[in-house]
């Protein structure tokens, strides 16, 4: 992140604009939305700027720029059509350590002005660092259409009662829970509709309830993070991730998904890899209990779906034993994500009428499964955690009657930009995977549906 986003207090901020053409006028009009004290220096002014000067909204110095114009200034905008002047102002301001912006000349900008959605006191600012202005306008249009103009009323309502809530509720966590309740509920709805009196009555009742609620126990959310692509998260998952005080996650949760967690939430890594556990499962279970009993909202973020090889059931049992509230949010399974992004339908009228999920996890160098039940016609097999045991899986399937020529695919880092799909047969796949240098996480798909991969592959077609 080259440009760090900040909001500057503009109360009485002395700001200089060099130039008074239409480009400068746009900057001046934007600055006039703030409380800055604006001085314009230029030998002439366009009609737009003249009107602002005549209205007394800006101070005007009708001459060429002089370095002394920087005296006492804290923010500089340069918008002339003379490159030599623009560079001179940039040089002079830089020597004085005054922030300067040369309009439409990013290399000469010490700061850039973002694209703004103004719902004062709520301000949303976005930037592309000057590299994608059209995309930025597109995103702004999207946000403008979904953020109600009434959100400004909600901002002013919150401002009025902020200190009252701070004095009434001692705990920072309790205050945050209270405001989340207010903003998610009927109080906010009444404010947005302009029914301030009714909103205040409801607000007072909620505040009274919170003042007399001494409960400190939190709640646990078992959230399926999906196979990796953050766009595959459910709305509910994203909402709860934004509410979390504590996030407990493992290695199957992609960095892109983890980025969507509430910024100031405590993040606890309990990742597991083969023969290398950061925390034993029993300790993870106890961690969830302890954090909830401390009054936290805990998101247990799990790759794929919590109830499909995610040990979600095991983590719920101690919560029930300790009377801790919990929710389970399903996620797109690793199997569904890998198959879809690899162009391999798990069922198909001409290939498979059933699909079986199995674990390929090794115990004492063996995989204890009902192999005869797995070797059935018109059936797709999906093996989780099977990369290390790939050779044994192929050997056992062949031993129990599956043809050696049966198609098999291995999908690594499914749904992510670096997804890698390797296809072969039961006899060739092990060497092909070794040549490709595949590492976990990876999923194995076995069955004639794999033969559709090249035809139906839509994601990373160049890697087919």
> What digits encode the pLDDT tens for the residues 305-346?
999 998 999 999 999 999 999 999 999 999 999 999 999 999
250 classed as catalytic: yes
Using DSSP, state whether 250 is helix, strand or coil: coil
Q: 272, 302, 368, 462: which is the annotated catalytic residue?
A: 272
Domains of the chain (ranges; CATH) run: 14-113 (3.40.50.720), 151-211 (1.10.8), 219-332 (3.40.1010.10), 335-463 (3.30.950.10)
Category of 105 on φ-ψ map: left (φ > 0), alpha (ψ -120 to 50) or beta: beta
Record the pTM: 0.74
Point out which residues pair with 277 in neighbouring strands: 272
Contact 445, 453 (CB under 8 A): no
Strand (E) or helix (H) holding 118: strand 115-119
Q: 92, 229, 245, 250: which is the annotated catalytic residue?
A: 250
Sequential DSSP letters for 261-308: S-TTSEEEE--EETTEESS-HHHHHHHHHHHHHTT-EEEEEESB-TTS
What gap in Å lies between CA 164 and CA 166, rounded to an integer?
Answer: 5
Using DSSP, state whether 463 is helix, strand or coil: helix
What gap in Å lies between CA 340 and CA 426, rounded to an integer?
Answer: 22
pLDDT cut 90: percent of the chain above it:
73
Query: How many CA atoms within 13 Å lie on the side-chain side of 356?
Result: 18
Contact 394, 426 (CB under 8 A): yes
283-298 burial code (b ≥16 CB/10 A, e <16): ebbebbbebbeebbbb
Query: What pLDDT score was predicted for residue 131?
Result: 83
Burial of 197 (0-12, 13-18, 19+ CB in 10 A): exposed
Query: What pLDDT score was predicted for residue 264?
Result: 87
50 classed as catalytic: no
| Cβ atoms < 10 Å from Cβ of 332 | 21
> Regarding beta strands 354-359 and 379-384, do their DSSP bridges make them parallel or antiparallel, or are they unpaired?
parallel
Q: From residue 357, how far is each of 50, 93, 371, 411 by CA, in Å?
A: 73, 65, 13, 15
Query: How many CA atoms within 13 Å lie on the side-chain side of 34?
Result: 19
Query: What pLDDT score was predicted for residue 273?
Result: 59
Q: Give the model confidence (pLDDT) of 53-74 as tens digits.
A: 999 999 999 999 999 999 999 9
- pLDDT tens for the chain, 464 residues: list them: 788 889 999 998 999 999 999 999 999 999 999 999 999 999 999 999 999 999 999 999 999 999 999 999 999 999 999 999 999 999 999 999 999 999 988 889 999 888 888 888 899 999 988 788 889 989 988 888 888 788 899 999 999 999 999 999 988 888 988 998 898 888 998 998 889 999 999 999 999 988 887 666 789 999 999 999 999 999 999 989 998 999 999 989 999 999 999 988 999 999 765 555 568 899 999 999 999 998 899 999 999 999 999 899 999 999 999 999 999 999 999 999 999 999 999 999 999 999 999 988 777 677 888 999 999 999 999 999 889 889 999 999 999 999 999 999 999 999 999 999 999 999 999 999 999 998 888 999 999 999 999 999 998 755 54
Query: What pLDDT score was predicted for residue 111?
Result: 92
Number of H helices, E strands in the chain: 17, 19
Contact 329, 222 (CB under 8 A): yes
What gap in Å lies between CA 432 and CA 429, rounded to an integer?
Answer: 5
The distance from CA 330 to its chain's CA centroid, rounded to whole angstroms, is: 18
Category of 329 on φ-ψ map: left (φ > 0), alpha (ψ -120 to 50) or beta: beta
What gap in Å lies between CA 421 and CA 341, rounded to an integer?
Answer: 10
Query: What pLDDT score was predicted for residue 176?
Result: 87
Q: From residue 187, how far is each of 121, 153, 162, 208 by CA, in Å?
A: 18, 12, 15, 14
Query: What pLDDT score was predicted for residue 63?
Result: 96
Select from 43, 47, 44, 64 the least CA-distant residue to 55. Answer: 47
Contact 233, 216 (CB under 8 A): no
Q: Angle of helix 390-399 relative to helix 429-436, nearest 10 degrees?
A: 170
The dihedral of CA 61, 66, 71, 73: what is its sign? Answer: positive
Q: From residue 272, how far is each of 159, 205, 310, 405 by CA, in Å?
A: 45, 46, 11, 34
What gap in Å lies between CA 364 and CA 376, rounded to an integer?
Answer: 26
């Amino acid at each position: 992140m080259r440009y760090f986003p900040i909001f500057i207090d503009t109360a009485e901020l002395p700001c200089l604009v060099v130039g008074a053409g239409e480009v400068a006028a746009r900057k001046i009009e934007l600055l006039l939305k703030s409380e800055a004290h604006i001085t314009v220096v230029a030998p002439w002014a366009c009609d737009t700027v003249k009107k602002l000067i005549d209205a007394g909204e800006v101070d005007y110095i009708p001459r060429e720029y002089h370095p002394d114009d920087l005296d006492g200034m804290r923010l500089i905008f340069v918008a002339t059509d003379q490159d030599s002047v623009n560079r001179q102002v940039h040089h002079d301001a830089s020597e004085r350590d005054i922030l300067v912006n040369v309009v439409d000349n990013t290399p000469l900008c010490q700061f850039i002005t973002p694209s703004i959605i103004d719902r004062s006191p709520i301000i949303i600012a976005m930037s592309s660092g000057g590299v994608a202005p059209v995309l930025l306008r597109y995103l702004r249009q999207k946000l403008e259409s979904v953020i109600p103009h009434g959100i400004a009323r909600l901002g002013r309502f919150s401002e009025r009662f902020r200190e009252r809530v701070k004095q009434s509720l001692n705990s920072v966590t309790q205050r945050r829970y209270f405001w989340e309740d207010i903003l998610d509920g009927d109080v906010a709805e009444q404010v947005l509709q302009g029914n301030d009196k009714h909103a205040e009555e409801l607000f007072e009742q909620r505040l009274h309830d919170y003042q007399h609620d001494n409960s400190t126990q939190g709640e646990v959310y078992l959230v399926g993070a999906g196979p990796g692509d953050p766009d595959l998260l459910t709305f509910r998952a994203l909402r709860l991730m934004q509410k979390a005080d504590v996030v407990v996650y493992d290695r199957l949760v992609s960095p892109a998904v983890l980025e969507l967690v509430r910024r100031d939430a405590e993040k606890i890594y309990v990742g597991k890899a083969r023969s290398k556990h950061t925390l034993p499962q029993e300790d993870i279970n106890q961690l969830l209990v302890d954090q909830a009993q401390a009054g936290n909202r805990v998101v247990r973020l799990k790759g794929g779906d919590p109830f499909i090889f995610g040990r979600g059931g095991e983590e719920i049992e101690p919560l029930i034993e300790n009377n801790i509230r919990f929710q389970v949010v399903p996620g797109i399974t690793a199997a569904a994500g890998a198959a879809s992004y690899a162009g391999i339908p798990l069922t198909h009228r001409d290939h498979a009428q059933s699909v079986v999920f199995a674990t390929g996890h090794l115990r004492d160098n063996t995989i204890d499964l009902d192999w005869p039940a797995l070797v059935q016609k018109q059936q797709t097999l999906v093996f989780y955690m099977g990369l290390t045991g790939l050779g044994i899986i192929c050997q056992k399937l062949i031993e129990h009657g599956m043809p050696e020529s049966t198609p098999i695919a291995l999908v690594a880092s499914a749904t992510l930009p670096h997804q890698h799909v390797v296809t072969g047969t039961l006899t060739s796949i092990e060497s092909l995977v070794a040549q490709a240098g595949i590492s976990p996480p990876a999923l194995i798909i076995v069955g004639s549906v794999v033969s559709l991969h090249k035809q139906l592959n839509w994601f990373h077609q160049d890697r087919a």
